[in-house]
């Protein structure tokens, strides 16, 4: 068995964190490839090294040199090496890194040094080779991953290496310039490494024990999700369940490699296992999890005999395309159609212009917008097996006295999405949770 382990910034925040990782790896020798993030926050109000490096770059551009922010980065890494009691020339490496940063004057290069330094120290601590992703993770000049090239480069770089530490979050374009993934992108590096070594499992170590069935800020102490499929994960993360970077899913999904989300601070918790396909031994539950997000707008259109009008939807969507606006859902009926749009795209008069243009394009009898809609997705493969799931869902919402503004069941039988007013959001999530996961104690 080969396991690839990615450790996030809270796991690498200090020397104790590095030592904890050492123990986790020591307990299971199948954990052979380790991807690290830059040190994150040690306590509330602390700074992430990545943020300090963004600030260092601004210092460099403004004053010609890195200053206080970079000094803080140096203190963090020096502290980690000291706490570990590691014999490692960190002063030399930091001085060299500072020179390189000041010579390059490139934001991505500066910022990538958090993962680079963390990786170098981790490799020394574990006495395994370090792999710099600059030569193995390939992006284009816009920072878009070149997946196939990366796969062969990583495969070649790791061939014959029984173990390795790889820095997360960055790679380089064909000219050798460092490029970054989006924030939180070490998850993506981990997935790429897992695919390249044909891992049996991608362990993603973080500071929570996996996914919860619902947002704990709304329902205190919700149950954990033991197992979910990649498709359920996609539905839940789309509306805000954000334990794992969503781009991290594709490389491992394609390769059929499961992911386990684990908690560095509670390594014995089972976490959440994410499987390429729904499990052969499905859980009894109709619903796997509930996710939700505010700030959507629903544009509602009505026109008699809409169903017979050729090209109606096409003309509506052409307006969206022209205005470069994307939609989330389009629930429709025979004479009605709704567009659910992220409200951020409709600011500064954009909504009014859109209504006007759609009105002119299809001449509806009615067109109006409902602002401040929250979407709640109720997700689970179990839905298709459990008769009456939607009846239970809508009864629970009705009992809570909530008016549903939009319903979309999708075509996947995996998900029912409802739209409610912002003011009803939390109440609805609680009612749905109680219905499917039982009353809380």
Contacting residues toward ligand ASP, per CB under 6 A? 8-9, 37-38, 48, 50, 114, 168-169, 183-186
- Give exposure, 127-145, as e/b (b: 16+ Cβ within 10 Å): ebebbbbbebbbbeeebeb
Query: Residues 379, 381, 387, CA angle at the centre, nearest 5°?
Result: 95
User: Do the beta carbons of residue 124 and residue 117 sit within 8 Å?
Assistant: no
Between 53 and 396, CB nearer to ligand ASP: 53
| Smallest gap from residue 117 Cβ to ligand ASP (A) | 11
User: Do the beta carbons of residue 123 and residue 88 sit within 8 Å?
Assistant: no
User: Do the beta carbons of residue 165 and residue 130 sit within 8 Å?
Assistant: yes
**Rounded distance between C-alpha atoms, residue 130 and residue 165, angstroms:** 5
Between 171 and 185, CB nearer to ligand ASP: 185
**Rounded distance between C-alpha atoms, residue 196 and residue 154, angstroms:** 6
**Rounded distance between C-alpha atoms, residue 370 and residue 428, angstroms:** 18
**Rounded distance between C-alpha atoms, residue 94 and residue 104, angstroms:** 15
**Rounded distance between C-alpha atoms, residue 58 and residue 54, angstroms:** 7
The β-bridge partners of 33 are 4, 164
Residue among 140, 138, 173 at smallest CA distance from 154: 138
Between 186 and 227, CB nearer to ligand ASP: 186
**Rounded distance between C-alpha atoms, residue 78 and residue 259, angstroms:** 33
| Smallest gap from residue 392 Cβ to ligand ASP (A) | 38
Structure tokens at 272: 């959440």
Q: Count CA atoms closer than 13 A to 149's CA, side-chain side.
A: 15
Between 48 and 405, CB nearer to ligand ASP: 48
Between 11 and 227, CB nearer to ligand ASP: 11
| Smallest gap from residue 128 Cβ to ligand ASP (A) | 21
| Smallest gap from residue 69 Cβ to ligand ASP (A) | 15
**Rounded distance between C-alpha atoms, residue 123 and residue 128, angstroms:** 5
| Smallest gap from residue 183 Cβ to ligand ASP (A) | 4
Between 74 and 187, CB nearer to ligand ASP: 187
Between 55 and 219, CB nearer to ligand ASP: 55
| Smallest gap from residue 185 Cβ to ligand ASP (A) | 5
| Smallest gap from residue 265 Cβ to ligand ASP (A) | 17
User: Do the beta carbons of residue 7 and residue 187 sit within 8 Å?
Assistant: no
| Smallest gap from residue 416 Cβ to ligand ASP (A) | 32
CA dist list (Å): 153 to 56, 132, 146, 228, 246: 31, 12, 11, 31, 23
Between 38 and 301, CB nearer to ligand ASP: 38
Between 54 and 327, CB nearer to ligand ASP: 54
The C-alpha R_g of the chain, in whole angstroms, comes to 25
| Smallest gap from residue 288 Cβ to ligand ASP (A) | 26
| Smallest gap from residue 94 Cβ to ligand ASP (A) | 18
Residue among 192, 204, 111, 121 at smallest CA distance from 157: 192
**Rounded distance between C-alpha atoms, residue 167 and residue 119, angstroms:** 5
Between 185 and 271, CB nearer to ligand ASP: 185
């Amino acid at each position: 068995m080969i396991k690839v382990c990615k450790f996030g910034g809270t796991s690498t925040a200090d020397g104790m964190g590095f030592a904890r990782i050492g123990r986790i790896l020591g307990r299971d020798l199948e954990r052979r490839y380790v991807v690290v993030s830059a040190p994150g926050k040690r306590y509330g109000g602390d700074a992430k090294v990545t943020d300090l490096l963004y600030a260092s770059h601004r210092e460099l551009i403004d004053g010609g040199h890195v200053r206080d922010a970079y000094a803080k980065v140096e203190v963090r890494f020096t502290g980690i090496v000291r706490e570990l009691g590691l014999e490692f020339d960190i002063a030399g490496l930091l001085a060299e890194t500072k020179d390189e940063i000041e010579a390059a004057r490139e934001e991505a290069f500066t910022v990538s040094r958090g993962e680079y330094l963390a990786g170098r120290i981790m490799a020394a601590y574990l006495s395994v080779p370090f792999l710099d992703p600059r030569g193995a993770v390939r992006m284009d000049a816009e920072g878009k991953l070149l997946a196939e090239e990366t796969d062969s480069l990583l495969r070649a770089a790791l061939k014959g290496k029984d173990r390795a530490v790889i820095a997360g979050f960055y790679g380089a374009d064909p000219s050798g310039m460092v490029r970054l993934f989006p924030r939180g992108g070490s998850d993506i590096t981990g997935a790429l490494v897992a695919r390249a070594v044909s891992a049996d499992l991608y362990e993603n170590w973080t500071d929570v024990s996996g996914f919860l069935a619902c947002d704990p800020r709304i329902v205190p102490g919700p149950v954990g999700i033991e197992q979910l499929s990649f498709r359920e994960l996609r539905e839940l993360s789309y509306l805000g369940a954000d334990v794992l970077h969503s781009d991290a899913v594709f490389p491992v999904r394609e390769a059929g490699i499961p992911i386990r989300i684990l908690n560095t601070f509670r390594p014995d918790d089972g976490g959440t296992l994410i499987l390429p396909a729904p499990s052969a031994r499905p859980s009894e539950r109709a619903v796997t999890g509930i996710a939700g997000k505010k700030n959507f707008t629903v544009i509602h259109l009505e026109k008699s005999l809409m169903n017979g009008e050729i090209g109606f939807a096409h003309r509506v969507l052409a307006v969206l395309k022209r205005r470069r606006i994307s939609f989330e859902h389009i629930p429709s009926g025979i004479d009605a159609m709704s567009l659910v749009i992220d409200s951020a795209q409709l600011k500064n008069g954009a909504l009014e212009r859109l209504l006007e243009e759609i009105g002119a394009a299809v001449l509806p009898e009615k067109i109006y917008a409902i602002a401040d809609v929250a979407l709640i997705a109720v997700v689970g493969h179990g839905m298709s097996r459990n008769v009456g799931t939607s009846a239970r869902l809508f009864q629970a919402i009705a009992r809570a006295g909530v008016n549903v503004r939009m319903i979309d069941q999708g075509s996947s039988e995996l998900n029912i999405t409802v739209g409610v007013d912002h003011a009803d959001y939390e109440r609805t999530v609680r009612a749905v949770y109680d219905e499917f996961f039982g009353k809380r104690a």
